[in-house]
Amino acid sequence: MDNLPIIDLAPMLNDEPGGLERVATEIGEAARTIGFFYVRNHGVDEGLIDALYALAVEFFALPLEEKEKLSIAKVGNNRGYAGVGTESLDPEKLTDAKEAFNVGRDPEAGEEDDDSQVSRGRNQWPDVPGFRDVASEYYAAVRRLSEQLHRAFALDLGVPPDYFAPYVDRPMATLRMLHYPPHPGRFDGTRYGAGAHTDYGNLTLLSQCEVGGLEVRTRAGDWISAPPVPGTFVCNIGDCLMRWSNDTYVSNPHRVVNRSGTERYSIAFFFDPNPDALVECLPSCISEDRPALYPPITAGDHLLERLDATYAHRKSAG
């Protein structure tokens, strides 16, 4: 496979007769084989996406001391600024040549507001006019889209379309703006923008600016590029959904190298289930020849395990 499929979501999102079924079949095929696909007609306003890019560019252009006031290392809940060199998505390589800013979900009515818990509590907001409003609006839009994609996953995996709804209605979802400075000199394979890794949650929705750099590993072990396609998100399956589906879906390694000679920005949205969601291999994915490969775990514990392996500051804290 040289190209990732581009799946049109309109039939599902417009409630066309048979639309959910058709989209679920296409998504299921991609999720089982490579774990990556593009989605178009996804319903998220292009003007909103452009507005968030403009604010991300403004934020990353602030002096480092300003950005570090919002450092992710000061909080336990995975929100705020992570500077160049603070993360190793591939622990075998040098630290990633990227900087990032994370926004989580604001506490909703009746929810505890505890910043020490992963992906809960308050956000750290930069002093950039409009940032909070636009980031919150974008977050809500991609959250809705993620919920809708779960209906297609459920149908394809052999459970009712709303099966996942109670597990993902208070999600540990993270909006992450990313900036990859151009790679200095010739790329020698030691330092990636983002080292090879798999994502942790159920799904990721990635918007790329016009500068490419994302590469995806095929099952055969080749790396193929996933170039920006206007009007789409790249959607990929994460480790949590792979586990939940008893490896029916695949969470595939990917990496970023900015070979363009210019700045690259991207916006990722990582959708992890509710912290207390019990991730237990789906009954429809278990059979006599295919017993459950994993014991049950809460989504919160699963995410913590994965974050602690990635961040230097979390490792030393814990």
Ligand X SMILES: O=C(O)CCC(=O)C(=O)O
Q: Which residues bind ligand X (CB under 6 A)?
A: 178, 194, 199, 206, 208, 214, 254, 256, 266, 268
Q: Which stretch binds Fe ion (CB under 5 A): 73-81, 180-188, 198-206, 282-290?
A: 198-206
- Identity of the amino acid at 294: Y
Q: Which of 199, 215, 239, 272 binds Fe ion (CB under 5 A)?
A: 199
The smaller minimum CB distance to ligand X, of residues 16 and 308, is found at 308
Nearest residue to Fe ion on Cβ basis: 199
- Identity of the amino acid at 18: G
Closest CA to 153 of 29, 251, 28: 28
Choose the contact partner of 256 out of ligand X, Fe ion, none; CB within 5 to 8 A by kind.
ligand X
CB of 249 to ligand X, least distance (A): 17
CB of 268 to Fe ion, least distance (A): 7
The smaller minimum CB distance to Fe ion, of residues 234 and 277, is found at 234
Cβ 40 vs Cβ 141: under 8 Å: no
CB of 25 to ligand X, least distance (A): 26
Choose the contact partner of 208 out of Fe ion, ligand X, none; CB within 5 to 8 A by kind.
ligand X
CB of 204 to ligand X, least distance (A): 6
The beta-strand segments (E) located in the chain are 6-8, 36-40, 80-82, 99-103, 172-180, 194-197, 203-208, 214-217, 223-225, 232-237, 254-256, 264-272, 278-279, 297-298
Alpha helix locations (H) across 89-207? 131-157
Choose the contact partner of 203 out of Fe ion, ligand X, none; CB within 5 to 8 A by kind.
none
Cβ 59 vs Cβ 126: under 8 Å: yes
Cβ 43 vs Cβ 13: under 8 Å: yes
Choose the contact partner of 251 out of Fe ion, ligand X, none; CB within 5 to 8 A by kind.
none
Helix, strand, coil: what percent of the chain each, to 5? 30, 20, 50
The smaller minimum CB distance to ligand X, of residues 11 and 212, is found at 212
DSSP 8-state symbol, 95:
P
The smaller minimum CB distance to Fe ion, of residues 131 and 265, is found at 265
The residues, any chain, with a CB within 8 Å of residue 38's CB and separated by 6 or more, are 4, 5, 6, 7, 229, 232, 233, 234, 235
The smaller minimum CB distance to Fe ion, of residues 203 and 281, is found at 203
CB of 269 to ligand X, least distance (A): 10
| Lookup result for tokens 């007769």 | 17
CB of 238 to Fe ion, least distance (A): 8
The smaller minimum CB distance to ligand X, of residues 179 and 243, is found at 179
The smaller minimum CB distance to ligand X, of residues 139 and 154, is found at 139
Q: Which residues bind Fe ion (CB under 5 A)?
A: 199
